[in-house]
Amino acid sequence: MFEHVDMQFNELEVIQEDNKRWYVTPEGKQYPSITTVLGHHKKHIIQEWRQRIGEKEANKISTQASRRGTNVHKLCEDFINNYEGYLGEHLPSNIELFNSISEILNTNITKVYGQEVPLYSDYLGVAGRTDCIADWNGRRAVIDFKTSSKTKKREWITDYFKQTTAYAIMFEERTGLPITNLVIVIAVENNRPQIFEGKRDDYVKSLKIDIKEYADAT
């Protein structure tokens, strides 16, 4: 059983337009989502990929990956929330992916501060919803759940660390509780899961550069 800390967070209004997402804070400020900001500098890479394999195949792959990620994330969320029927009616393939990381979560996560937490930062001027804030091996961390069709190298997932860095800053700004540890848990199809850990302060500078570039471009 996972221990949960009772913490209250303000829900944020969401505005979705042209494949971009903004959040409206309780004070009425409108901030872009951190995923929208970080996705901005990869737009040309995605467009080249779609042109290379064709729109139909690209849509198929993107849809499958999105559904897989959503379902495995839901399994993680319900598992950590101590729901008895967390397996529900999920497809066997998604359950298999989740099962590859379930014991890792059970072993490393103890105290849980929140899941799917709506957050924003006036300092960074961004907002978002983080997967999980919890103690990982006894240290408070931002934990992100990912799925992949193949194993990844650390240098390929810099944006994952920038994203979790943003959440760490948002969480401290909203609660006063500092977070310096970042954890990326990747369930890999037909392979062993991957765990990557990092430090928030290693990514703050590059994160702020990306935020400024997005602001300048829009």
* Residue 193: CATH number of its domain: 3.90.320
- Whether the per-residue pLDDT at 49 is higher than 60: the answer is no
| pLDDT at residue 15, as a whole number | 95
Could you write out the DSSP letters of every residue in 128-178?
Answer: EEEEEEEEETTEEEEEEEEEESS---GGG-HHHHHHHHHHHHHHHHHHS--
Q: 88-147: per-residue pLDDT in tens?
A: 889 999 999 999 999 999 999 999 999 999 999 999 999 999 999 999 999 999 999 999
Give residue 43's domain range.
3-217
The predicted pLDDT at position 90 comes to 93
Measure the CA dihedral 144/69/29/201, to 10°: 20
- CA–CA distance, 117 with 119 (Å, rounded to integer): 6
Question: Number of structural domains, the chain?
Answer: 1
> Could you tell me what percent of the chain has a pLDDT over 70?
89
